[in-house]
Structure 1
Amino acid sequence: MFGDLMGMMGKLKESQEKVKATRERLKTVTLRESSPDGLLEVTVSASREIRDIQISGELLGDKEQLTDYLVTVVNRAMQKAGEIHDAELSAAAKEGMPDIPGLDNFLK
């Protein structure tokens, strides 16, 4: 019994380390999202940090259009980054989890 418990504790520790390493790696994964016309481009990390924003000079004269572009493109970039982030962390956490009956149903 205690051997199984110690094994499970070891797997949980391993899972925590994998999640930590995955979080660090996600800081280095970047993705770009652009407006359809290419006038604005946002680069974000998979850890949901804005890294760069490129704005065409054409947008600088129209504050309302620039604001609309920023909101739309940043939101799309953050959504995609969030999907990558969540999928990677979920996979890392599940990989090291001990085989406990019913745990999958509990995690849903």
Structure 2
Amino acid sequence: MFGNMLGDMEERQKEMRQKLAEIMVEGTAQGGAVKVVANANREITDIQIDREKLDWEDVEMVQDLVLDATNKALSAAAAKEAEATQEMVKNMLPPGMGNLGNLFG
């Protein structure tokens, strides 16, 4: 009984990781001068920098903007991951369990 349940759980986790990989979010800094794209697995998939909007002599500022945009993207990815996880848990509950899914979010 539990063996099948655990196998099913592993399959659901794999499906969830695949689903999360398709959900893209972005974080921007300084009006779009730096844009970081991540998926809901919290993997950075792209970084775009608008050279015209930055002062390349101020390396520390550029680094700060990249960090800011990255943190915003990862925060958005974590929120999407939490939403998807909550939905998965809710869908795993047997019928008739009421609002127990609300316990997880």
Q: Where on the TM-score scale, by shorter chain, does this alignment land: which range?
A: 0.7 to 0.9
Q: 1:97 Cα shift?
A: 2.7
Partner SS for 2:45: strand
Distance in 2, Cα, partners of 1:11 & 1:43: 35
Structure 1: unaligned runs, 5 residues or longer: 1-5
- Cross-structure match for 1:40: 34
Q: 1:78 Cα shift?
A: 0.4
Q: Is the Cα contact below 8 Å between 1:42 and 1:77 reproduced in 2? A: yes
Distance in 1, Cα, partners of 2:37 & 2:29: 12
1:94 is aligned, of 79, 82, 90, to 90
Identity within the alignment, %: 26
- Cross-structure match for 1:26: 20
Instruction: Work out the number of aligned pairs and report it.
Output: 101
Deviations 1:6-38 (A, max 9, x none): 5x9867765553333122111121112211421
Correspondence 1:85 to 2:81: yes
- Give RMSD over aligned pairs: 3.1
TM-score by length of 1: 0.71
Runs of 4 or more consecutive aligned structure 1 residues displaced over 2 Å after TM superposition: 8-20, 58-61
